[in-house]
Chains A and B, each alone.
Chain A
């Protein structure tokens, strides 16, 4: 069937048998819960409730409460909503609870826009959540199903954000293979991630209402240890991500698994690294340039947190120029890649390190045509030929405007 990104997310939540879906509607995320409501109205799902909070912070708090009961849930917020909920987002990670946040990315205002860039997603990179970015509806469906299995694992027990481009993926129809419910049930058993020491429902009222009576409590005396264990779990979750991805791939045949995907990188001189919807365009441009004898490849980073430095550096180690195509104003991929390369090279790998260039594209919803990817690849080619990088980090494309912050206001 053909599904938009939002519909695919709703289908994944349905197949995962989540019991509650939270949302604060903000374009382009409304269709996720709309589609779920359609399933409920037509009685195609049992035991699914949709709840809306007064604002994103309230909604996230509600989801944290739900997770404490061991219930599988989904939260759908985006753009400023993520900023609004940031305190709760941090709280969820430090509480070691598996929550899923579906984020159809939308740029942060001002200036006013409804269109997409990844700033809302990237703004949460320090919160301690696992972070994944998807390229199309099939990827969204596959990743959500894998994520529930990953985050509910006792060795992980961390919340996860799954992002995809607002409108360009969330409202774009592509062909999607929806796995049958029985197959998904075999892959994803019911949640069992809260296993209290004793049965807290059958105790007397004093114990039930006491806030101290909950599971074996760890408090501020163990603050540093708990924070360390949290960060360690985040780092080590890479093993689980790869293992669950492999299992999903074997069972359902989808290639949307693991921490990254490479395309024609084996003998590539230039590699374009990207996240999200730019990837299919990168593959197309790579094909076009390969026809002309230019050795170019592409990498899609699926997992942003934990940053798969090892896997990424191994994939690019033989390239001469690596260009990150970022759809966020932080140039996050550029910064993190350089940090990862530094550790990778320090560990004694052979050969010169690839030169790293960063190109920020598509901010505020500016579409990314194939030509621009071609131009950026041409810049990489030029750097290769001249053995010099003209501009290490740049934004593309920019047109000249006459803006004076003391005189002009930023509005629409």
Chain B
């Protein structure tokens, strides 16, 4: 059985070939509903407009539909662009959400974000955050160029949607940090030509791209002190999830699962048969013998019960609060 050997010669030679053939590789990480994939598609078209050839490979990462997205874009002037989803020599990483520098607990996926981060301690680090470059949170030590723009805030200024689809806005940050590789004008033109978006949305995004480009802060040759060491980060990334249920600690930033949970004011109940019980898609509500019960282990926080109750007895409250309340109630029951 062949084992993986580390041939220093091959790695070095390939890096030299990247430089010789002027091939550039970038990885983009976004959370669900941000429009990360659309953004990279637009970037691809902008580069094609400038005469480049490009390969865009993607993965939806995370086994429990956490919605995060890892995308590789590789481009250059040569007609032969290596077409692999493996990210081996990135010039830069783009984090469309700052929490993505940390691992989440995805199962088998082709692009392993934590692995890419663990191998990236120099280069161009682009993060969508309100923090200036010097204060960017990176888990391990990093030396290089850091560029930031608050893509989410820029988008929210125009339209208030949660989570804000700020993926395309982040292209302004990309263009500002890579002026030698792509012109802002091409990115804007590609956005205006993107048939999947309505005219209004395209123009909105072009304005956001412009704002992001203008407000990007770039700091070259700076050092970021990592929060933990590299071995600690690798250990964190390889830790398996504690169970099949999504716990608050292991929830990905893009999961809107269980953000809020239902609480029922039973004084308002008048129905012969609980309609919330009837409509709950997970079947976690039961109303038996004058007792209303929710199985919070399986409630996904969809809010259908609150919507359907004709007496408006159920309210959706912040999940942390509700679980704390339930824990309190359990303790009191035990004490009696």
Residues of chain A having any CB pair with chain B under 8 Å: 1-2, 113, 115, 135-136, 167-169, 171-175, 277-278, 280-281, 283-285, 287-289, 291-292, 365-371, 374-375, 378, 391, 394-400, 412
Contact with A along B103-125 (1 / 0, CB 8 A): 00001101100000000000000
Contact present for B84 and A281 (CB under 8 Å)? yes
Q: Assuming the A-B contacts A135-B83, A173-B44, are A285 and B14 also in contact, with contact meaning beta carbons closer than 8 angstroms in the complex?
A: yes
How distant is the Cα of A135 from the Cα of B82 in the complex, in angstroms?
Answer: 11
A175-B48, A378-B10 given; A288·B16 CB < 8 A: yes
Q: Are A277 and B84 in contact (CB under 8 A)?
A: yes
Which chain B residues (308-335) contact chain A, with CB distance < 8 Å?
none
Query: Which residues does chain B contribute within 8 Å of A289, judged by CB atoms?
Result: 13
Contact present for A281 and B7 (CB under 8 Å): no
- Flag whether B54 is at the interface (Cβ < 8 A): yes
Q: How far is the CB of A171 from chain B (nearest CB, A)?
A: 6
A12–B7 Cα gap in the complex (Å)? 43
Q: Interface centre among A113, A280, A289, A394, by most B CB within 10 Å?
A: A280
Which among A2, A291, A395, A396 has the highest number of chain B CB atoms within 10 Å? A2
Min CB distance, B44 to chain A, in Å? 5
Q: Which of A371, A397, A398, A400 contacts B14 (CB 8 A)?
A: A371
Instruction: Tell whether, in the assembled complex, residue B54 and residue A281 are in contact, meaning their CB atoms are under 8 Å apart.
Output: no
Q: Are A172 and B58 in contact (CB under 8 A)?
A: yes
Let me know if B11 and A371 touch, CB within 8 A: yes
Interface centre among B2, B53, B88, by most chain A C-beta atoms within 10 angstroms, is B2
Q: How far is the CB of B319 from chain A (nearest CB, A)?
A: 27
Whether A171 pairs with B58 at a CB distance below 8 angstroms is yes
- Give the nearest-CB partner of A412 in chain B: B107
- Least CB distance from B178 to A in Å reads 19
A174 and B54 in contact, given A113-B108, A394-B2 (Cβ under 8 angstroms):
yes
Task: Write the residues of chain B forming the contact surface with A, with a CB cutoff of 8 angstroms.
Answer: 1-5, 7, 9-11, 13-14, 16-17, 20-21, 23, 41, 44-45, 48, 53-59, 80-86, 88, 107-108, 110-111
Please pick, from A113, A168, A175, A397, the residue contacting B3 in the complex, using a CB distance under 8 A: A397
Shortest beta-carbon distance from A214 to chain B in Å: 46
B2 contacts across to A, CB distance below 8 A = 391, 394-398
Q: How far is the CA of A35 from the CA of B57 in the complex (A)?
A: 19
Which residue from chain A places its CB closest to the CB of B51 in the assembled complex? Answer: A175
Instruction: Tell me which residues across on chain A come within 8 A of B108, comparing CB atoms.
Output: 113, 115, 365
Complexed CA–CA distance, A103 and B48 (Å): 27
Q: What separation, in Å, do the CA atoms of A13 and B2 have in the docked complex?
A: 43
Give chain B nearest CB distance to A43 CB in angstroms: 15
Chain B residues whose C-beta falls within 8 Å of the C-beta of A391 in the assembled complex: 2
Partner among A287, A292, A370 whose Cβ is within 8 Å of the Cβ of B86 = A370
A selection of 20 A-B contacts at a CB cut-off of 8 Å is A167-B57, A167-B59, A171-B58, A172-B56, A174-B53, A277-B83, A280-B55, A280-B81, A280-B83, A283-B82, A284-B17, A288-B13, A288-B14, A291-B16, A365-B110, A369-B86, A371-B10, A397-B3, A397-B4, A399-B3
Decide: B84 and A398 in contact? CB cutoff 8 A: no
- B84 and A291 contact, CB distance less than 8 A: no
**Cα A374 to Cα B82 with chains together (Å):** 13
For A116, give the chain B residue with the smallest CB separation: B110
Knowing A284-B82, A367-B86 touch, does A174 contact B56 (C-beta < 8 A)?
yes
Expressed in whole angstroms, the Cα–Cα distance for A400 and B20 within the complex equals 37
Chain A residues within an 8 Å CB radius of B10: 371, 374-375, 378
Q: How far is the CA of A367 from the CA of B14 in the complex (A)?
A: 17
The complex places the Cα of A396 from the Cα of B3 at a distance, in Å, of: 8
B84:A370 contact, CB within 8 angstroms: yes
**Are A399 and B4 in contact (CB-based, < 8 A)?**
yes
A278 to B55, CA, bound (A): 13
User: How distant is A137 from chain B, measured CB to nearest CB, in Å?
Assistant: 10
Which residues from chain B contact A173 at a C-beta distance below 8 Å?
A: 41, 44, 54-56
Inter-chain CA distance A371–B5, complex, in Å, is 10
Assembly CA distance A280 to B80 (angstroms): 6
Which residues of A have CB within 8 Å of B41? 2, 173
Decide if A2 touches B48 in the complex (CB within 8 Å): yes
- Nearest residue, chain A, Cβ from B85: A367
Asked if B107 and A375 sit within 8 Å, CB to CB, the answer is: no
Find the B residue at minimum CB distance from A376. B2
Determine if B57 and A172 form an interchain contact, defined as CB atoms under 8 angstroms apart.
yes
Among A370, A375, A396, which residue has its beta carbon within 8 angstroms of that of B88?
A: A370
B48 contacts across to A, CB distance below 8 A: 1-2, 175
Q: How far is the CB of B297 from chain A (nearest CB, A)?
A: 21
The residues of A that contact B13 with a CB separation of less than 8 Å are 288-289, 291-292, 374
Given A287-B21, A399-B4: A115 in contact with B53 (beta carbons within 8 A): no
A368 B44 Cβ-Cβ under 8 A: no
Q: Which residue of A lies closest to B13 (CB)?
A: A288
User: Which of chain B's residues have a CB closer than 8 A to the CB of A277?
Assistant: 83-84
- How near does chain A come to B87, taking the closest CB pair, in angstroms? 8
